[in-house]
Amino acid sequence: MTADTPDPGNGYIERDSITGEPTGILVDGAYALIHGAMPPTPMHALLRAYREGMQYQSSRGVVATKYVHVCEHRLNALSTLDKAGEMTLRVEAAISWQDDIFPVKRRSELIAGERHYYRSARFNANAVKFHFDGVHETQSSYLSTPWPGESTWRGSLNMTPEHICDMVVDLDRKGIRVIAHCTGDGSSDLFLDAVAEARRLNGPNGMRHQCAHSTLLMEENLVRFNALDVTAEFSPVLWYPSDFSYARTKAGEERIKNIYNFKGVIDAGGNAVMGTDWPVANINPWVGFETMITRKKPMG
């Protein structure tokens, strides 16, 4: 990577303000540039990681889980454990729509139908994971209004609204669940608009799409989760006072008052669930349950 290396569409390379040379910091999807140059994770390492991860979750009472941002290599690892009878819970795997984490080979073939090759009583790959925006830490979450202290900067949207809508409508028509990373209230608004268009064109087909993280939500959108049958997924492990807290306050005091509005979605009749966002945060769901209820740090 040099000063001439272009930024990917879903992230950027931090550069020296004078020379333009990379500083070594890659933001959001830009780290896929490194993964693209690395060899794939050895199969034996993937098998051990998934096996131990599922056993840990099962020991904490989890009976079903979602593993997102998978590629064909990871699907083969999960399928191997499934066929060996070592899948201790039900798993829905979501194929990466973009190369957010690592390049996904043969993505179009998987989405076109090869995903069904992996289907069993405990395992399916009938979902796709999108990164609609970034994160609060880098002020790349896409907000409905400019970030505090900024005149126009609202954050980073990884796809145009038209692209988002077209993809959601198309995947909904194919019966594929969309799991959309939306940390800003502007990105979740666009996602709900896209689902509304899918419902208008495709009708209610029982496919419940998911708004991932839902860090900030517009007040007027709370009722839409019920109306559109969209799941609001929150990551409460991340909201207790931690090293992340200073970054989240950048969104402004008024927004932070309603961060992770779990109760707002439920009171509006919507379906709300908890995700750990592992490996970003602790995979133990009980840590999340406690922080969801107390809004305090359970450790220390």
Percent of the chain with pLDDT over 90: 61
Query: Residue 243: what pLDDT?
Result: 56
Which tokens in the block code for residue 290?
């406690």
Contact 232, 270 (CB under 8 A): yes
Give CA–CA dist 242/237, Å, rounded. 10
The conformation of residue 114, written as its DSSP 8-state character, comes to G
Residue 46's nearest CA partner among 86, 81, 93 is 81
Q: 43-294 has which CATH code?
A: 3.20.20.140
Segment 39-66, tens digit of pLDDT: 888 999 999 999 999 999 999 999 999 9
CA nearest 168: which of 129, 140, 134, 116? 129
Longest dimension (CA), the chain: 57
Tokens, residue 204 = 């209610």
Residue 240 predicted with pLDDT over 80: no
Q: Are 129 and 179 in contact (CB under 8 A)?
A: yes
Domain coordinates of the chain in residue numbers?
Answer: 1-38, 43-294
What is the DSSP annotation of 207-237? Answer: ---EEEE--S--GGGTTHHHHTT-EEEE-GG
Mean pLDDT, range 90-98, rounded to an integer = 92
pLDDT in tens, 137-150: 788 899 999 998 89
Structure tokens at 292: 């969801």
Show the DSSP H helices in the chain as ranges: 32-35, 43-59, 72-83, 107-112, 161-173, 185-202, 224-227, 245-248, 253-256, 262-267, 285-294
Rg (CA), the chain: 19
DSSP 157: B
Task: Give the model confidence (pLDDT) of 186-198 as tens digits.
Answer: 999 999 999 999 9
Section 295-299 average pLDDT:
75
pTM over 0.85: yes
pLDDT bracket for residue 200 (50, 70, 90): very high
